[in-house]
Amino acid sequence: MVDRIARSRVDIDAARLVVCNAAIKIDESNAKGALKEIAEAKVLVPATLLANIGLGYQSLWRRRRVPRYAVGNHVGAWANHEDRGWPR
């Protein structure tokens, strides 16, 4: 688990550096001069975000038994609970 967290941190820092590089390139020239760097950021950042959100959900499901309400035929029963209001 620790290795996944470390890898996620490296991926996030790499995405952050790509965005900073694009910003520096935009400041030095103009947006047209930084098209390559902007495109790299547009590809890398969402992919990194989705991968790390996926890892977060996986760790949540492993560490705790989160109830899965919306599975199979239970969707209707869950919706009825929501309509009546959950006990407060």
**42 pLDDT above the threshold of 50:** yes
8 A C-beta contact, residue 18 and residue 40: yes
The full length of the chain comes to: 88
d(CA 79, CA 10) in angstroms, rounded, equals 40
d(CA 70, CA 56) in angstroms, rounded, equals 19
Number of domains comprising the chain: 1
Q: What is the pTM of this model?
A: 0.62
Domain region containing 30: 2-84
pLDDT tier, 61 (very low <50, low <70, confident <90, very high otherwise): low
